[in-house]
Structure 1
């Protein structure tokens, strides 16, 4: 028969005192939010049934609208946002927007009907330059706090939190140039999306002096943010004589590696590939993927803090906050084969 979980077991796993665990179990005050969350996480891991008195009073509901979950970067954002909200006593209501499913407008309507206190938009229609901004203006006019992650719309008076796409391209190109590559391609998503446009603009600026202004357009591919999109882009860029390529997502990079291998090429010996995101588990691919890491935790935490400040009635500047990415060098890049 399995022995019952003891407070000592919870305290050991959470790295706190048994007295602290007792305070959490009995719903007593005087425990820091992060410590309380660590104790609750330990309870869940050990299968300890939380007593009703340990439950924190719900401060409110926050809507979270993200794209489909098959790209691992979006669940990563959702996890950090949900955890940060939980620490502040709020509950997130997760909505995913995928092709053929509910539209962003329908999700907004469902969330407002539930009486959410605010909404976090991650890579939504605010990143699409062809989409109407009226949906966001209506929410702001009604006084509903909103924040946006990745994608900037200057005419929407709200805070935006984005990875610095130009800096990401700078890091990638500098790394490949140091390895001797000159014929470098870029594969990003559709040009109507702000992150794709920003990456493409910086790529043109950096590569025009190397390849020429006319030729650089042949090294730039707009495709889909998917394995298939990366495969297709790699095939095109290999035909253009590229020895390396930078991708707009890790999924695209995996597709690029697959495309190179279908031609009998070895990555990175014959062809170097850089991804973007540093999605969970991407370090365990074959080869381990060199990528540009989004600062997911910092971006998500800052967005939640701004939203909760808005809810509390504190002033939050309506501007864009850019976060610096980081180059993570692994095994998918190497010296140019001709150098």
Structure 2
């Protein structure tokens, strides 16, 4: 016995709605797009007809008619870093609230940035772009002129481009101040990548705190990391092997703080009984580490939301000058820091 023949239901079109309602298809289009040049009676009739027929307006066609794609792009150096991922998540949440779709792409260097942006911009696939860490290289020179753009993580030098950033100076200052308040004076500072503005700002905050306390900061105790846990692990391992005198570690992000704590554990030392460790970020698992990590909290998701909302406003009102917003931070004190108990390791 042959199988039953499946009859596909015909897709309802805008002309079907117009015919059923007894109006022109142009009138139906005006109702769908919220135009005010339709009488209330006709508007109600068309809406009821759309509902009864189950008509679904073509979102792509509506966007093209308005000269927009309702799509944003967010380009980051990579898509695996916790901070970048959280920023993108926040931006995507805000974009959806406003009826936009967010495309995320990675561009580790300026050449890739140019390639990705050209693909998106020249094909008119996006209405605006969010750029995370815009000044890590020369990528900003490839931004199209007069195209809606918002920077995340750094201050724009162009008044047409908005920006949203963390108060990184305060983050570095609060982390250093916390350790100094606990009596630590010999502090190993593990920085982020030197070509990133947030590293320079966090360094500035650290220097400021040391200066206020009248404590000299030994240049040998400032070690360049790369945000990865491995770089901090190696830095602490080397410092211990070389018998460097220090009682605490200030890592400029949580991943490096975790690397530092692991190095102490592998070397047979206790945190915070023998060494204190503080990070910056307050990543989701920070409170579950052993010991729970003392850190400086930044609300990364909210920063992403703010940036997306700023970009959407710029798209709606191109004449607006670039807006700016700097997010504050707070100390989250847990169990990885303690008052100084003597020389580190003693």
TM tier, smaller: 0.7 to 0.9
Matching of residues 236-247 of structure 1 within 5 Å: 236-238=238-240, 239-247=243-251
Q: Which residue of 1 aligns with 2:253?
A: 249
Q: Which residue of 1 aligns with 2:74?
A: 64
1:107 is matched with which residue: 116, 130, 150? 116
User: 1:55, 1:337 → 2: CA distance?
Assistant: 68
> 1:68-104 CA deviation, whole Å, 9 max, x = no partner?
23322222111111111001000011112348x9811
Larger Rg: 2
Deviation of 1:273 (Å): 1.1
Alignment partner of 1:219 is 2:224 = no
Tell me if the contact between 1:257 and 1:273 (Cα under 8 Å) persists in the aligned partners: yes
Q: Which residue of 1 aligns with 2:184?
A: 181
What RMSD in Å do the two structures reach over aligned CA positions?
2.8
User: 1:287, 1:52 → 2: CA distance?
Assistant: 58
User: 2:103, 2:325 → 1: CA distance?
Assistant: 25
Q: Which residue of 2 aligns with 1:308?
A: 312
Tell me if the contact between 2:130 and 2:152 (Cα under 8 Å) persists in the aligned partners: yes
Tell me if the contact between 2:261 and 2:277 (Cα under 8 Å) persists in the aligned partners: yes
Which sections of structure 1, spanning at least 5 residues, go unmatched? 1-27, 29-50
Task: Look up the SS of the partner of 2:218 in the other structure.
Answer: helix
User: 1:72, 1:256 → 2: CA distance?
Assistant: 18
Q: Which residue of 2 aligns with 1:127?
A: 135
Matching of residues 33-112 of structure 1 within 5 Å: 60-98=70-108, 103-112=112-121
Task: Look up the SS of the partner of 1:254 in the other structure.
Answer: helix
User: 1:55, 1:268 → 2: CA distance?
Assistant: 60
Q: 1:104 to 1:264 in 2, by over 3 A?
A: same
Alignment partner of 1:167 is 2:174 = no
TM-score by length of 2: 0.73
Alignment partner of 1:195 is 2:198 = yes
Tell me if the contact between 2:130 and 2:151 (Cα under 8 Å) persists in the aligned partners: yes
Tell me if the contact between 2:248 and 2:275 (Cα under 8 Å) persists in the aligned partners: yes
Q: Which residue of 2 aligns with 1:231?
A: 233
Alignment partner of 1:148 is 2:134 = no
Shifted more, 261-270 versus 148-157: the winner is 148-157
Q: Which residue of 2 aligns with 1:334?
A: 338
User: 1:286, 1:70 → 2: CA distance?
Assistant: 24
Which sections of structure 2, spanning at least 5 residues, go unmatched? 1-31, 33-53, 64-68
Q: Which residue of 1 aligns with 2:28?
A: none
Q: 1:60 to 1:285 in 2, by over 3 A?
A: same
Deviation of 1:157 (Å): 4.1
> 1:117-150 CA deviation, whole Å, 9 max, x = no partner?
0011122xx232x5353113xx1x1x21010111
